[in-house]
Amino acid sequence: MAFVTMVMPAMGESVMEATVLQWLKQEGDIVAEEESILEVATDKVDSEVPALYAGRLYKVLVQKGEVVKIGAPLAVIVTEGESVAATPAAVSSQPVVVRLPQPVSVLQATDHKQSYGRFYSPLVRRMARQEGLSLSTLDQIPGTGRGNRVTKHDLLAYLQHRLTTDRPRVSAAACVPVAPDDEVIQIDRVRQIIAERMVASKRIAPHVTSFVEADVTDLVRWRNQYKEDFEKREGVRLTYTSMFLQAIVRAIRDFPMINAFVEADRIIKKKAINVGLAVALNDGNLIVPVIKHADQLSLAALAREVQMLVDKAHHQQLVPDEVTGATYTVSNLGSFQNLMGTPIIPQPQVAILALGAIVKKPAVVESAQGDVIAIRKKMYLSHAYDHRVIDGALGGGFAKRVADYLESFVDWVYW
């Protein structure tokens, strides 16, 4: 018999903690190997945690609503079919601690650092750097964690309080009235996370947006000509999204400073091109699955990856690793027939591109006989970028390069 301690597994790059949503098994229940025993939520996605060994759930170590660090103990499982009436003290062998492999960023996070004698987790330190908070400011924030540690929620509460107190005060009469027939909807956890991130991004990064119009007449004609053959050959639909992404990653290779992070006084230029694709969910919320190493994928591979991730997003089947690690983000506003927009940059990225709807427009076209008016298929690209590190020459130049690649798509496309 062995008492196996399950620990919180790694949940993807940059994820340092998770909140316990609910236990799917109770103390005393039999569990099978790889059977899900609890649900947890990170700031990116909800996920189930499986048992590593078959046995009986002996003891639950964390309760619903608790925040758990990666690598922290979750539960104790009795293996080899022994009764839970036995206690660890009655076992001659030492308890076995099972730890799953963790990314380098998590392993490095175990090197705990102190500031003025106070512990701050890597997550809190990173958030503070992004918000421009000094260590002396951190030391003044009340902590609700063990040993009065400052948690992520403490820091978010402080930032929200600061934002509120910095605003002009309004009288109680200015509050929004609620009539008897009004419907009051409580903001859910996912929408709260989205709201916190969007407000933080606008506060952190001075946003500038450049707009470029692209003539995609030839691209549309090429797709209409080959989409049926493409689907028969590749087993996946040829969508505009996958075609746009191939042009975007090509432009990122030309403008590598677009593919970067900002951390305090450093710019980290990322080698891997991992494109986040914003996906609207049926409940009105948003999630951003990530296409890893998108620049290394053919059009067919991009189409398969997009279809797989979008399908998993709509069925709530994404795993944490599929929503982390984005170095650049794309939002397809055209799917809602929007012409253009001003997207908000996901931190710590430095830019995001919104794709508008393709519409027919009269345009001046050069010909051998001179300028003529013709009906063309056109779309707008809205490129928002962080003006701390990107100026108009780079931000606007990148958007123009994407447009150029879309307009010349049939000359360089590869399946």
Active-site residue set: 387, 391
Q: Does residue 237 contact residue 227 with C-beta atoms inside 8 Å?
A: yes
User: Between 392-407 and 240-254, two packed helices, what is the crossing angle to 10 degrees?
Assistant: 130
- Alpha-carbon Rg for the chain, nearest whole angstrom, is 25
Burial class (CB in 10 A: 0-12, 13-18, 19+), 364: exposed
Alpha-carbon gap, residue 79 to 58, rounded angstroms? 10
3 state SS of 386:
strand
Q: Which long-range contacts link 292-299 to residues 24+ away (Cβ below 8 Å)?
A: 292/325, 294/245, 294/249, 295/249, 295/250, 295/252, 295/253, 298/414, 298/415, 299/238, 299/242, 299/243, 299/246, 299/413, 299/414, 299/415
Q: Does residue 64 contact residue 41 with C-beta atoms inside 8 Å?
A: no
Q: How many residues does the structure list for the chain?
A: 415
Alpha-carbon gap, residue 384 to 330, rounded angstroms? 10
Alpha-carbon gap, residue 399 to 213, rounded angstroms? 9
The phi and psi torsions of 335 (rounded to 5 degrees) equal -65, -15
- How many helices (H) does the chain have, and how many strands (E)? 10, 22
Output DSSP code: residue 168: P
Residue whose entry in the numeric block shows the structure tokens 């009795």? 78
